[in-house]
Amino acid sequence: MTAGAPHQRRDEFERVALPHINALFNLALKLTRNRKDAEDLVQEAYLRAFRFFDSYEAGTQIKAWLYRILRNTFINRYRAAKARPEEVDFDKIEAVYEQMVEDNFLSERRAPTPESVVMDGVLDGEIQEAMADLPEEYRTVVVMDLVDELSYKEIATALTIPLGTVMSRLHRGRKLLQAALLEFARRKGIVKGPRSVAPDGDQPS
Amino acid sequence: MRPLYLDRPVDCRDFRKWVYHLQADELAEADREKLIDHSAQCEACARYLEAEDSFLRGLRGRLVAEAAPEGLETRVREALELEAPSAERREGSWIRTPAVSALAAAVLLAALLVPTLVGMPAGDAGSVGEPKILHVVKTVTVVDHNCDMTGASFAQQLACRNARHLNVLKLGDGSYWNVNLDHPSARDIVMEPSLRGSRITVEADFYPELQTVQLIRVREASSRL
């Protein structure tokens, strides 16, 4: 990006960057879990991107560049005081998830499907809650994959992480998300489950 | 060219490990064929794939993107308009330059350290008014804070000669630690452009409220990234 007169620079920035405001807001909302914080985060990310617009290479994917700045801004602004990353016992949750899938959807030849039972049985708020409970590094990748439908390469570029890390985070993120949805369904009595698969370790009633 | 991950015939465990990437069509053709061949011969995995496809359809149907609220774009445009006339000046400003927080934190930390060093062992803090301290040993990467925030490569960071850009320590989760200057190695770590991209292992006292480390020991962890 070459420098021009200030108003030309701003016009060019707005032309290429603002069309992605919905995608940025959506990711910001998933990260902050709060609409006001999400709006503030989007504004801050845009201002930061504008300040460094000269370092953006024209022709490369600006959405990935904006995502990267938004996520870095989020990490610095909202996680500054957090000393440790969020931790979940993934192996335990995965084992229970596999068992529940087996018991509910694979054991009988004409078993119901997760789409018809789980996804039709949970509320929008429960899906948002399950998404919000994912550790941030998994949540970001899941949003980019399932909502934005970015390729793994685009996600890797946006987050400046290796492709293998994208794959690992996506595997874990989706598994944790689906496990949480199964748990909501189990609590409603619409699927069978030996015990909770909630990441917070909730036990069956 | 996509990398190959499966160098042998797959079993059910492999299938379940790789099924999401099969669904995303992100595997090399040879790997994809191995998984498809397995599901053709294994009814359990074929049904597992159907269940996961069903889950995915449901997720995609319910996880729709929320549009930005009305007015946000106008708010951003107004903020950019305020920013634009002085953007160049502000970019170089000590106050608005993010990495300057390293120095600011160092000054603040020096004040906080006085009671700590005089009367309290590190890691034993916690009462009101005293800084919380964690003892950490961590392998981190030295980065130019300003450049790294925008996703600049290490090569670009090494080439950056903006004297106002300071180095910080980057963790694996993407967050940054500032470095208190009160250590013989700290000044080089913070000021030296040629260290950008270096992996170092630090033993330090970590001040979470300041996101700052007081170095105890430093050693090189590996060659440059």
What phi and psi values does residue B177 have, to the nearest 5 degrees? -115, 135
Task: Give which of A18, A36, A75, A27 is closest to B79, Cα–Cα.
Answer: A18
Q: Tell me: pLDDT of B26 over 50.
A: yes
A180 touches chain B (CB under 8 A): no
Q: Which one is predicted more confidently, A205 or A100?
A: A100
Residue A51 tokens, joined: 């300040």
The segment with the largest mean pLDDT, out of B39-48, B84-93, B94-103, B208-217, is B39-48
Q: How confident is the model at residue B138 (pLDDT cuts 50, 70, 90)?
A: confident
Residues A78-137 have pLDDT tens digits of: 765 454 556 778 899 999 999 999 889 888 777 788 988 888 888 888 998 999 899 988
Give the residue on A whose Cα is nearest the Cα of B80. Answer: A47
Taking the CA of residue A193 and the nearest CA in chain B, the distance in Å comes to 16
Contact B66 A170 (CB under 8 A): no
A176 touches chain B (CB under 8 A): no
- For B55, the closest of A9, A76, A115 (CB atoms) is A115
Ramachandran area for residue B112 (φ above 0: left; ψ -120 to 50: alpha; else beta): alpha
CB A147 within 8 A of CB B65: yes
Question: What kind and span of H or E run contains B61?
Answer: helix B43-62
CB B137 within 8 A of CB B209: no
Is the model's pTM score more than 0.80? no
User: What helix, strand, coil percent values describe chain B, rounded to 5?
Assistant: 45, 15, 35
pLDDT of residue A6: 64
> Complex ipTM, two decimals?
0.82
